[in-house]
Copies of this chain bind each other. A is one copy, B any other.
Amino acid sequence: MTLMGKTLTPEQLQALVERLDREARQAGEWGQVASYIPELACVDPRQFAISVCTVDGQEFHAGDAGKAFSIQSVSKVFTLALALGRHGDGLWQRVGREPSGRAFNSIVQLEVEDGIPRNPFINAGAIVTTDAVLGCNAPRDTLGEILRFLREASGDEDIHINEQVARSEHATGDRNFSLAYFLRSCGNLTNDCDRVLGTYFHHCAIEMSTAQLARATRFLCGGFEGQRMIGLERVRAINALMMTCGHYDGSGDFAYRVGFPGKSGVGGGIMAVVPNVASIAVWSPGLDRYGNSLKGTAALEGLSKATGWSVFA
């Protein structure tokens, strides 16, 4: 299925991303950066980047588009793609596909629903997905696989894990350990908690620029013939999950304001997909109260308004 908005010339699109960058830097408050680890707490909130890759192979960048940031939960989309590749629909025995109606790190739902996380994008669900990708492999090999996927998707070998971030995540990861032990007590974790969370903290500590992330997101566009890394049915599945669950308890609001699927990370990055049209990455470290990038979301809303890109008409 092809989806097209207004016809925009390359010049118009480049001017648009530059305008969005300018507006982001002018408008009011930047939001609060994540403060639970020093590496994120020390990031200057007054940064912004946007990158757009259209299905016909053009790219448009503005702001700090070459600067690497911690992708954090954005990585959950890639591990989900790998987990689906390995287990297919069997994965849905272990994790649901419904919005949670709760915060990203809530444990309440796990108790009520016997250890089946509501979706793969809340922390508990991503821990299960990581366990599913791990299987019997060594964490090192699994992380290698994730990195290879990202490098191939973005066509860029220069994508790495920040070991210092991974260590800090581990040192402050009590809540995630609580989730992992709960999952294990329900029989929904095959590896031990240390092994799963070690892998989880590392793939959350991958660093990318918006330029790299927008390119890496092309595999979800559906329109890049010849370069499909996963089948169309799976592309649709992942986009549907990002639409309904990609922004935690702010997913409905994101769908309403932006109108196409996306996944945010606590590092301030958001990857987004306009199916058959473009892949997008934005970054601004300041967060709103749900833990989603404040300026990043606003920029995506502005982009949607200006281009007419929306899956909803």
Q: What is the interface of chain A, defined by CB distance below 8 A to chain B?
A: 1-6, 96-102, 106-112, 118-119, 174-175, 177-182, 184-185, 193, 220-223, 232, 235-237, 239-241, 243-245, 249-253, 255-256, 259, 261, 275-276, 308-313
| Complex interface: chain B residues within 8 A of A118 (CB) | 101
Contact: A181 with B184, CB < 8 Å?
no
Contact: A244 with B1, CB < 8 Å?
no
Contact: A107 with B109, CB < 8 Å?
no
* Contact pick for A221, options B222, B251, B259, B313, CB 8 Å: B313
A66 to chain B, nearest CB (A): 28
* Contact pick for A249, options B98, B235, B240, CB 8 Å: B98
Return the chain B residue nearest A118 by Cβ. B101
In the assembled complex, 18 residue pairs joining A and B whose CB atoms fall closer than 8 Å, in A order, are A3-B311, A99-B101, A99-B244, A107-B108, A107-B111, A175-B182, A175-B185, A177-B177, A177-B181, A177-B193, A178-B178, A220-B313, A236-B313, A241-B252, A243-B255, A244-B255, A275-B312, A275-B313
Please name 12 further chain A to chain B contacts, defined as beta carbons within 8 Å, in addition to the given A1-B308, A99-B252, A177-B178, sorted by A numbering: A97-B253, A98-B99, A99-B99, A99-B251, A106-B111, A107-B111, A107-B182, A119-B252, A237-B256, A239-B312, A240-B256, A243-B244
Q: How far is the CA of A175 from the CA of B223 in the complex (A)?
A: 46
| Complex interface: chain B residues within 8 A of A177 (CB) | 177-178, 181, 193
Closest 10 CB pairs of A and B: A101-B101, A222-B313, A174-B185, A99-B99, A311-B311, A239-B312, A178-B181, A98-B252, A175-B185, A178-B182
| Complex interface: chain B residues within 8 A of A261 (CB) | 312
